[in-house]
Amino acid sequence: MELNVYNMNEQRAIQILNWKYDPPYDFYDNHYTDEALEELLDSSYYALVNTKNELFGFFCAGKSAQVPVGHAKGAYEENLVDMGLGMNPRMVGQGSGTEFCSLIIRLIRKKYGNTPICLTVATFKARAIHLYEKLGFEKENEVKSERAQFITMVRREV
């Protein structure tokens, strides 16, 4: 799988805001609002496009990748770089997760060096958690919002 990385643009951001996932992953459905569009265009988001020029997924680094409830619980106090990601719902479940996440990790490493990487994931996403563990992430904190329970996972370079 070959993916090209682009700065997020309005066309791709609108596509992402219209993605719809099958339950229970519909928890991650976005809703188009001016504020949501503005966030995707804040220069912390990148688009990953395949060789067919299809938007395969996106990622972000930094504060945009954090879940607000995590701040209240102290989940983001360490010197870490936070990683957020999303895969096009049409691409989910086709065996591309490891390659997709590995590429994102390499891109973050290129920019942030060996700073530990943190991600936040809903606890019901067992397949994703298993993948992240395979990629070297370890569970750190649990945080709960009104809508869901999350864990933070950290990958530290040795």
Measured in degrees and rounded to the nearest 5, phi and psi for residue 3 equal -125, 140
pLDDT tens digits along 141-154: 999 888 889 999 99
Task: Tell me what pLDDT residue 158 has.
Answer: 58
**0.75 exceeded by pTM:** yes
Mean pLDDT of the chain: 92
With cut-offs at 50, 70 and 90, classify the pLDDT of residue 85.
Answer: very high
> Is beta strand 149-155 parallel, antiparallel or unpaired with respect to 138-144?
antiparallel
Nearest Cα neighbor of 136 from 108, 122, 151, 117 is: 117
* Cβ atoms < 10 Å from Cβ of 150: 23
| Segments making up each domain of the chain, as ranges | 3-155
Task: Tell me what pLDDT residue 71 has.
Answer: 80
Q: Mutual orientation of helices 126-134 and 97-112 as an angle, nearest 10°?
A: 50
- Rounded to a whole number, what is the distance in angstroms from the first to the last CA of the chain? 28
CATH fold label, 3-155: Aminopeptidase (3.40.630)
Question: Length of the chain, please?
Answer: 158
Q: Which residues contact 95 (CB under 8 A, 6 or more apart)?
A: none
pLDDT tens digits along 43-83: 899 999 999 999 999 999 999 999 888 887 788 877 899 99
